Structure formats: structure tokens, C-alpha cells
Amino acid sequence: MNGMAQEPLTIYKLIILYMLDRVDFPLTKAQIGDFILGQGYTNFINLQQAIGELMDSDLIKGQSMRNRTHLSITKEGQETIRFFGNRISETIRNEIDSYLKDNALAIRNEISVYGEYYKATSGEYEAHLVAKDRGEKLVDITLSVPVEEAASTICENWQKRNQEIYQYLVKTLF
């Protein structure tokens, strides 16, 4: 019986490896989950188990950033997907490819644009805003505001409007 339960978990692991192998930037656990759970391939518990086992066997590595775990594939993971990738049906591979293609901008944007705030020693709140492109920082701004709500709103608006803010800064400052 255990052999049968193991088979689907192996497929979920291969799907995760395939997804990470198809992009040149990390994906968050949530982004992988959106696809796998959204397609109804498995449930949250099996997904977490598959991710955990992949990390334990060093096929993927995780980095915690701002309450999210960013996952990337290791060399060993790339070799594994090269050997066993054909065990994922062509249909599923095509679904993954089109998901990544359709959501590439949003996925990359979520990882490379972020705002976080914290209470400074002065008692003010500091909103720290960053935008990166291919790992290079484009913008890194810290704003001090008197109340937490303002800091929170600044971070939310940065997530939504960073491109127009960046363009405004460039146009105004150059």
C-alpha cells in the first residue's frame, strides 16, 4: 500500500522541480502552491511534504524573506529533473509552461518588488521600499512616518504602483 502512496508524492516533487527548473529566479512556496493546488493535483499537506522532502534531500533550497519562503533548484535538483522529467505527463508539462508564461511578470514582480515596515528606535515607523531587476537594485528608499497605518499603506501602494513611481523618479531626477 505504501508504494502507491509514494508514487503521487514523487510526481508532485517532479512537478515542483520542473517548475523551478523552468525559471531563472526563485519561486515562493505560495506561487508553487497556487499552481499545484489550483490545478487540483494534490492538497496542501502533500504539497508541504513534497517541498520538505525536496529540501531535506538538497534538490531545492529555501530562503526566508519577508514572511515568504523563496525556493530555488540546486544542481542536484537540475540533474534529477533531467533524468526523471519524462515521468511528468506532457499535458502537465504544457500546463506548467503556460502557467509560467502567463504569470511570468506577476511572479517576477512579486519577488523583485517589496515593501516592509518596522518601528524605528525613534518611535517613528519606517517603510523600506525596494525594486530590483534581475537581482540589481533599481530603487531602495526608506520613508519615516509617524503612524503604523501610514507605513502599511505606503508598502501596499508601492507593491501596486512601483513602476509608475520609479518612472516618475527617473523623469524628475534626471
At 58-86, the pLDDT tens digits run: 999 998 766 678 899 999 999 999 999 99
Map out the domains of the chain as residue ranges. 2-110, 120-173
> What pLDDT, on the 0 to 100 scale, is given for residue 4?
44
pTM score over 0.85: no
Pairing state between β 113-119 and 125-133? antiparallel
- Which tens digit of pLDDT belongs to each residue from 7-57? 788 999 999 999 999 988 788 888 899 999 999 999 999 999 999 999 999
Three-state DSSP state, 146: coil
Please, are residues 74 and 59 in contact by the beta-carbon 8 Å criterion?
A: yes
Neighbouring C-alpha atoms within 13 Å toward the C-beta of 24: 3
Assign a CATH topology to domain 2-110: Arc Repressor Mutant, subunit A (1.10.10)
Residue 1 has pLDDT above 50, yes or no: no
> What pLDDT, on the 0 to 100 scale, is given for residue 97?
94
- Which tens digit of pLDDT belongs to each residue from 72-131? 999 999 999 999 999 999 999 999 999 998 887 777 766 677 788 889 999 999 998 888
| pLDDT bucket at 2, cuts 50 / 70 / 90 | very low
For 124, which DSSP code?
-
- Phi, psi dihedrals of residue 39, rounded to the nearest 5°: -80, -10
> What pLDDT, on the 0 to 100 scale, is given for residue 150?
93
